[in-house]
Structure formats: structure tokens, C-alpha cells
Amino acid sequence: MLAVFAGIALLTVGIVQTTGGLAGTALATTRPTSSDSARSGGAGSGAIVSSGGPVDSGAPSANLEPSVSVTPVGSAPPVAPSSSPIPGPSTAEQQTQLLHARLQATLDRVRTRLGIPGVSTTILFPDGTSWTGVSGLADVPARVPVKPSTAFAFASMSKTFTSALIVQLVAEGRLRLNDLAVTLLPRMAKPIDRRITLAMLLDHTSGLNDYFLNPKIDKPLQADPTRAWTTDQALAYVRKPYFPPGKGWHYSNTNYLLLGLIAERVTGKPLAVAIRERLLDPSGLAATWYQAAEPPRTDLAHGYRLPGTKPTVKPIDLDDGSGIVPFRSVVTAAAGAGSLAGTSDDLARWARHLYSGELLGPDGTAVLLGGFSATAAYRPSIPYGYGVQAVVIDGHPSLGHSGRLLGFRGAVRHFPVDGLTIAVLTNQSRADPGVILRSLLAVALPPPPACAICVLSR
């Protein structure tokens, strides 16, 4: 298995360096396990890692939600398309209209089946065109529908911005992957192990415990949802390490909270400003913002907790009226690990910009995609590198990330071989958005028709 992941890293890096892009990348097919092996130091992010993903239990728990959902997006079968393949004789415009109609019908059907209040999804096609589909409600009691301009919390997909910022600084020579993190951090009340490197924070091999998984953080987070948390307050909930640095893999929001502090120290700017100036504005992401420090740039969907597994349960609104979703305390505590919000269109364009090599260039992209080999030996639930997941969905290799906060869940995948990018954002944290993503992928990239001549010649 180690050789497989090492091959992924070498192949992707080689393609980027020689072509400046990823159009020809062929990632090795792997089957992610449903939970981490014993060598990973436990089951990934505790209850967050499971074959089917967690559900809202009915208790208003905040500590289990602000972590990445690492449920393999291909773990549940896609919903079958509602109609036969698109007929042949028609104009290109008619073909496009038929495709969009099938995508919308699939989105509506899967959202209803999963009991999701609202969803927005964007697909970027190889020819540069796009489709944005919306379904359901952004505000359930007020019956406000989701619109293409509706924004959602990115949750742990925010980590892709933090990692990209760090990789930029590495490519500029201002940081090195083997730098000791303790030398780059401000003085902290609870210093970290001096052996932890920058690379270990990026790929979750530091062993640092996830502060969001400390059950004691729940009560203060929810006691005053409008309270703004500092990083020191969040780090006070970090418990003893999972394992010594570099001796295992365990997803931990603590790593990216610290990476945000490092980025601030090296750039000399608040994390929100550095992300805005270096990533958001150059990428043209006008509908994405760092929630903890910037005002909303478009209308926000309310986040909902669904207390039960039935699709018909009444959703519980988590909005605190602050203009931050799901609410201020948890987003400010997340900081560099999960503070961004935006539209599905922006998220899809970000993923294409990042993973195609356009943002970081050949050298920076090589750094970004070079971290899979270090984690492969520990067999994370989904192959993980420097803030990026690599997973094959129904034969289609992809790069991206997933995310979940209480009340929000989403996933974004860029398919470098197919030239396709899909982003899915929902305003709930019970159902796996990967089911939607996989179902849309089956419509956008249907399997090739059987070759009648080939069959007859057998």
C-alpha cells in the first residue's frame, strides 16, 4: 500500500513539473478503509471517522462536528438517473439543456431522499462551462429558497486555503517543510512538542490532540454562541498527544489552528488578510470570506441540526443572528481550521485553481501534492497529504477535501483526468454530501455505452 501512495505522489508531481498542470494525471485507484488502522493512533478523529458518517443524535453537541468528514464519498451508491441516456440527434444547446435538466432532477431527488434542508452544487466542465444547481431552503421557517448566490460554511474545506497559504510561503523560501513548528509559533501557555515539524502539522502526523474532540469544550461553546474565542482559549482544550510526532496519523483541527498562527507570524498580517490578499482576490473569489474577521459578502444559509435519522424530522435552527454560521463561538474557535464561507461556485473554482497548478505554479503544486507518501504507512481513512485528500470515485481519481461543522456539511472534488470539478454544500451535518456528489458525477460522466461490435466478436 505504501508503494501505491508513493506512486500517487511521484506521478502527480511529475505531471505538474513537466506540464504545469494536472490534465494528464492518473492517480492510482485505492479503496479507503472505513476506519484507521491501529497504527494511526486510533480511529482518526474519534467518532467523526466512521463508515457511514455520524448523525445528529438529538443532543446539541458541538465538539464532534467541527471536523472533516472522511467518509469515502463513494461509500454509498449513487442515486440512479431518472431518465435514459441523452438522445443523440440534437443541437449542442439542446444536449446541454437536457444534461442540466437531468442534473437538477437528480439533485432534487437525492436532497429529498436524504432529508437535507438546502443544498447548492456547482460543476465545472472540461470546456470551461459550468452548472450551478440549488434545491431546498436556506431558511426553513421563512421559506427562503437556496439561490446560486447563497453561501454556506466551508467548515474543514477551509483547511485547503490554510495549506495553500503555507505552501506558497514554502515555495517562496520563507518556510521549509522540516522547520520546527515551535520556533515559528508565538509564545503559548501550553508549548507543543519541539520535534513537531511544519510538514507534520500539514499532514496530521504531529500527534497533537484535537481540541474540538475534548468533551469539555461543548458547554462553553454553546453557553454563549455569540462569544468570539481566541486561539489561546481554544488551545486550552488540547489534551495529551495521540502519539509521538511522526509516529502515526490522526486528523486534528489543532494542527491547522497552529498553521494559521504560523502564517500570521511569517506574513506579518492577520490570517484573514493574508488569505484575502494572497488567495481569494487573485483567484477572483468575490463570494468567499473569512467569517471570523470579515463581513458576509452574500446571503448566508442557516445551519440546521437534524435530531434523528428520519428525513421528516423538524430541523433545529442554529443561527445566532451574528452573521456568522453556524454561530460565532464555534467559527472563531475553528480559525484557520474552518472559518471560511462562500458559494458552491466559488468553492468549485477554488479547487480547480488550486489543483490544476494555476494558483501555486509547478513548484508549489509539487509541494502541495508531495505529502501522501508520509501518511500512507498509517493508512488514514482517505489518503491524505498536505491539506488534500486523494480518492477514486467510481473509477475517477480526484483531489479535494470534505468538511463538517454542526449544521453544515460539504465536499469538493477536482477530477484531473476528466477535467471536471464538483462542489457540494449543504446546511446540515447528518447526511453525507458525497452521496449527492457521486450521483451527480454519474450523470455528468456516464459510463461509455457498450460496444456492440466488441460484444459480438467475443
What is the tens place of the pLDDT at every residue in 322-351? Answer: 999 999 999 999 999 999 999 999 999 999
Query: For residue 300, is pLDDT > 70?
Result: yes
**Mean pLDDT of all residues in 263-278:** 98
Q: How far apart are CA 24 and CA 9, in angstroms?
A: 14
What is the tens place of the pLDDT at every residue in 189-220? Answer: 788 999 999 999 999 999 999 999 999 999 99
Residue where the block lists cell 432529508:
115
Write down the pLDDT at residue 29: 34
- 396 has which bridge partners? 393
Write down the pLDDT at residue 90: 73
- 121 has which bridge partners? 133, 424
Q: Name the least confident of 90-94, 152-156, 240-244, 440-444.
A: 90-94
Grid cell at residue 50: 466512521
Write down the pLDDT at residue 189: 73
Query: For residue 87, is pLDDT > 80?
Result: no
Express as a percent the part of the chain with pLDDT over 70: 78
Q: Are strands 316-317 and 152-153 parallel, antiparallel or unpaired?
A: unpaired
Write down the pLDDT at residue 313: 93
Domains of the chain (ranges plus CATH)? Answer: 2-445 (3.40.710.10)
Q: Name the least confident of 48-52, 60-64, 240-244, 332-336.
A: 48-52
Q: How far apart are CA 209 and CA 258, in angstroms?
A: 12
Q: How far apart are CA 15 and CA 416, in angstroms?
A: 11
Half-sphere exposure of 247 (CA within 13 A, CB side): 10
Query: For residue 61, is pLDDT > 60?
Result: no
Contacts of 261 (CB under 8 A, 6+ apart): 185, 186, 231, 336
Q: How far apart are CA 422 and CA 81, in angstroms?
A: 17
For residue 335, which of 344, 346, 324 has the smallest C-alpha distance? 324
What is the tens place of the pLDDT at every residue in 140-163? Answer: 999 999 999 999 999 999 999 999
447 band by pLDDT with thresholds 50, 70 and 90: confident
Query: For residue 18, is pLDDT > 60?
Result: no
- C-alpha torsion sign, points 341, 345, 347, 350: negative
Q: How far apart are CA 311 and CA 112, in angstroms?
A: 8
State the greatest distance between any 2 C-alpha atoms of the chain, in Å, as a whole number.
73
Higher pLDDT, 55 or 256: 256
17 band by pLDDT with thresholds 50, 70 and 90: low
What is the tens place of the pLDDT at every residue in 382-426? Answer: 999 999 999 999 999 999 999 999 999 999 999 999 999 999 999
